[in-house]
Amino acid sequence: MAGMRRIRQSKKLQHVRYDVRGPILSEAQRLEAEGHKVLKLNIGNTAPFGFEAPESMVASMVAHLKDSQGYSDSKGIYPARTAVAQFYQSRGLKDTTVDDVFIGNGVSELITMTLQAFVDDGNEILVPAPDYPLWTGAVSLSGGTPVHYRCDEENGWNPDLADIESKITENTHALVVINPNNPTGAVYSEAVVKGLVDIARRHDLVIFADEIYEKILYDGAVHHHMATFAADDVLCLTFSGLSKAYRACGYRAGWVMISGPKELAADYLEGLTLLSNMRMCANVPAQHAIQTALGGYQSIEELIVPGGRYYDQVKLASKLLNDIPGVSCVEPQGALYCFPRLDPEVYPIEDDEAFVIEMLRAKRILVTHGTGFNWFEPDHFRVVALPDEEILTEAIERIADFLETYRS
């Protein structure tokens, strides 16, 4: 209308992207509105693929619904925080207490909260490439500058420690580590984890350790908690939750545990508590599922061995992708994804987002392009290995058909 000003988004969003649910998903929704059926392999949402939370967790929530109508303590209910503290105690972090734990509406909220309390304008935060893009976006939104360090595909997608060292400046304040890794499925060895902690120690960096996939491991892979090696002299924030191992994405129940020299971080933790108070609390019903989830029988174990759906589907996806000419995929050691490479000599792609949209329109298959995970070159894409084997086979056959046409 004449005379009215345009309402524009904040300039703080200038460098914020989240392509897992970006323009490609919008195009998929447009196709669905026209009546087309789209196979969605773009997001690690377990429920649409037939994975359900353990019944004992559901029962705990139901039993406590009447007790969940008011706000809880802003850091979370005591039984949930106790269960989280005991979980880390059992993994060698014996000094962990209830006061070291914050419960959040999933890890996503806690990533944003912890960075907002920590980052000043211009601070540089080291973030892996490829990454889970929320980390890059949340750093930017907090006023910081994400600096991406390379994970080496030829070395099983392990972080390149020399590359990390080369990117540290006087403005570098923290190191983000995603292990097991999304999107690559890498699980870092004890030597690599110790090397990352050593870098943080020598350069006085805070560690943000995203370990949401810590229980999803294949073929004897072992997960090593960063906090175990950070000890008393490196502040480490460890993130995990119920979304993946417990198939409860919609419950939005996650936690962050703080370890290391907390006395030196008292001012920071005061700021984190302030932000925690401002959002009142995490959703209370789901908090009652945490104690039940972390105690007793762990149903994830039957999914991550041969014959289990997580295991069989990740292995199948990796094999089928490697069978496509010009495609190579490092076999995942953990998590729920494959991150295949397209040989640039076979597929000379200049814009991988346009490439993925073209494949979506041609084959009704939805994946996420590699630069959406802040990878440096337009030569990768991520496949979510959650559909059952029949659907997964059909999906990758569609990808193979499209790539055959692309080669031609």
Backbone dihedral angles phi then psi of residue 238, each to the nearest 5 degrees: -105, 125
Give the SS3 label for residue 326.
Answer: coil
Q: What does the pLDDT look like over 357-406, one tens digit per residue?
A: 999 999 999 999 999 999 999 999 999 999 999 999 999 999 999 999 88
Spatial CB neighbours of 397, under 8 Å, sequence gap ≥ 6:
320
Quickly state the pLDDT bin for 27 (edges 50, 70, 90). confident
Write the CA distances from 158 to 15, 164, 191, 196, 198, integer angstroms.
Answer: 26, 12, 11, 11, 16
**300 within 8 A of 216, measured Cβ to Cβ:** yes
pLDDT at 12: 72
pLDDT at 298: 87
- Joined tokens for residue 54: 């353990």
Q: Which domains does the chain have, with CATH numbers?
A: 15-44+305-407 (3.90.1150.10), 55-294 (3.40.640.10)
pLDDT at 1: 57
Q: What is the mean pLDDT of residues 92-106?
A: 94
CB atoms under 10 Å from CB of 23, counted, come to: 12
Q: What does the pLDDT look like over 226-264, one tens digit per residue?
A: 999 998 899 999 999 999 999 999 989 999 999 999 999
HEC string of 210-253 equals ECCCCCCECCCCCCCCHHHHHCCCCCEEEEEECCCCCCCHHHCC
| DSSP type of residue 120 | P
Write the CA distances from 220 to 8, 186, 187, 215, 337, integer angstroms.
Answer: 51, 13, 11, 12, 18
Cα 294 from Cα 83, distance rounded (Å): 7
Q: What is the mean pLDDT of residues 316-329?
A: 97
Give the SS3 label for residue 331.
Answer: coil
Write the CA distances from 173 to 113, 119, 121, 123, 226, integer angstroms.
Answer: 16, 8, 12, 6, 17
**This prediction's pTM:** 0.93
In which residue are the tokens 């290995």 written?
385
Question: Is the per-residue pLDDT at 268 higher than 70?
Answer: yes
**Cβ density class 111-140: b for 16+ within 10 Å, e for less:** bbbbbbbbbeeebbbbbbbbbbbbbbbbbb
